[in-house]
A and B are shown apart, each in its own frame.
Chain A
Amino acid sequence: MNRRNKSLYSWAYLFMLPQLLMLAVFTIYPIVMSYVYSFYDWSGIGPLQQFIGWDNFYSVMTDRYFWNAYRNNLIYIGFTVLITLPAALLAALLLNLAYFKGKVVYRTLLFLPVVTTTAIVGVVLKSMFGTDNAIVNLVLQQFNLIKEPIGWLSGPYTSMLVLIGAGIWKVFGMIMIYWLAGLQSLPKEIYEAARIDGAGWWAALRYITIPLLLPVSAVILLLTVMNGIHVFDLVTTLTGGGPFFATDMVDLYIYRYAFGTGGFPQQGYASAAGIIFGMSIFVISLVLGAIVQLAMRRQRSIAIGKE
């Protein structure tokens, strides 16, 4: 190793030092400790003393409320993904049309909910979906769609419905941009060739765009699912997990045990719940990844290959 390289390397390490410190203290150490804490009966105050083995895990796994929150989370994720992915693709296809004027304006408007503070939006939506004299009910009554005002946030199904709707509205623009990025990365020559061969817009979409988008769609699917897991801001401010835990999510469940307002936090138990949830997300994304890979391999043998 010559002297020039040696000094280069030291500079490189020096440059990375702050980030590596940050990584060690605020990422790696917390990951390790969240596993350690989960084996203790620990409130979060005072030293770690009471080692209880797998007891926390056992308690979480047998808690009805944990599974209720878990189920709600899956319902929320399922519906947002199933509706948002195709709808956002449609919007992206429209905004990708060469002759369509005014794309930037529409893109900005559709993207606006994404950049606005979720917690604030949750509060605003909460008052829009109120029961008496609230705007949503007033509009529906005006158009004679309903006779009596609906208690949107006081019924278990309607509050979940509002939550899913708000979640879709909030994430839609983001997914649309993902699709747009995918569409714009497709090679233009193929479309040119297809046009010469007499393929219409629909044929091009069916036989070129969709197969070629498949790899990107795997990434987008994963990003959308991950997005649906972190719903704390929206749920806390919009429904608070209510009425009576009907829209409770794992995020909120863990928060209550970790920083619960009751004044008796159980941070060991909360850590265990966090690990169980994290593990199951990990498994779900592995399974999703495998399914997508399989689908892609099959598609590749049918459609025209990219390479």
Chain B
Amino acid sequence: MKRNRRLNRLLHLLLIPFCLIWIYPFLWMIFSSLKTNTEYISSGLRLLPQQLQWDNYTRAWGVGQFSTYFQNSVVITVGAVIIVTLLSILTGYALGRVNFPGKKALLFLFAAVLFIPKGYTIIPVFQIIKQLGLLNTIEGVILVEASGVHIIFILMFMTFYRTLPVELTEAAEIDGAGFLRTFLQIMLPLSKPIIATTAIMQFIFTWNSFFVPLVFTLNKPELRTLAVGMYSFVGEYSIDYTGMAAAAVIALLPIIIVFVAFQKYFIEGVSGSVKL
């Protein structure tokens, strides 16, 4: 036991400096966002600002239009999370509880879609969105972000609903509840943990998305998300380093908070993709 305690201390001695370097980019970003631009250039290795410059945040939020970008990111993320979670629940429930004809074929189709070489599908998707008249609209971006089959989520719901005992539905049926009422009143509430995992994983995917919003807002700067806005901000205000750092903090803080608060669910979801 004494040996273990010594090993413990040795590990901390190694890992603490390593982790500090590991997250240094984030620390550097936060502290830079509180300096003046002159201080940023001249302060050398000194991390702490002489005086906290909240002005960088007002500039990024206002002149840099990050208030708009933030709003777009929130709307798109919430929209995509709701659609994806809903579709995955419904599909997972049908697959998990009902042995309908064609179930095997459908599961095979899902797997096939995952593995076959796809080519550059964003071009046809772009054309569909154009034909639907949704190009350069926020609804279009949400739809594309939520599109596709989210196999991992569907499988998570499927395995969960399958393992629930048959007696649950039978008892409900004796009480006169139909398929829909059984699902809504009994099964759905039971699957809260899976819903949480799905919602949080999709939240992180969509919030971090760059390629889709970039392509679908090319001609519409006011629809940019935080990630796309950041990319264009650097192009336009290349010398405003501290404004950029403040904008980065604005973009990353929500995702870091969500992750730290709900990491249990996220880690479970990630581990699940290996086990399946």
Contacts and interface: CB of A to CB of B under 8 A. Distances in A.
Interface stretch (B25-33, B48-56, B191-199): B25-33
Given A116-B255, A139-B45, A233-B211, A34 B120 contact: yes
Interface string A133-147: 101001100100000
A19 B125 contact: no
B163 interface: no
A258 B266 contact: no
A34 B246 CA distance: 40
Given A116-B208, A123-B248, A30 B179 contact: no
Contact of B215 (A125, A126, A177, A259): A259
* Interface band, chain A: 35 or more
B15 interface: yes
A84 interface: no
A119 B204 CA distance: 13
A12 B123 contact: no
B251 A120 contact: yes
Given A22-B148, A30-B124, A99-B7, A124 B270 contact: no
Majority secondary structure, A binding face: helix
Interface residues of B, number: 87
A223 B255 CA distance: 23
Interface of B: 4, 7-8, 11-12, 15, 19, 22-23, 25-26, 28-29, 41-42, 44-45, 86-88, 90-91, 93-95, 97-98, 100-101, 106, 109, 113, 115-128, 143-144, 146-149, 154, 179-180, 204, 207-208, 210-211, 215, 218, 226-228, 230-231, 234, 241, 244-245, 248, 251-252, 255-256, 259-260, 263, 266-267, 270-275
27 contacts: A30-B118, A30-B124, A31-B113, A34-B118, A34-B120, A97-B11, A108-B260, A109-B23, A111-B263, A111-B267, A115-B204, A119-B227, A123-B234, A128-B28, A135-B28, A135-B45, A174-B270, A177-B271, A180-B271, A182-B274, A223-B274, A237-B231, A259-B215, A274-B123, A278-B117, A278-B118, A282-B116
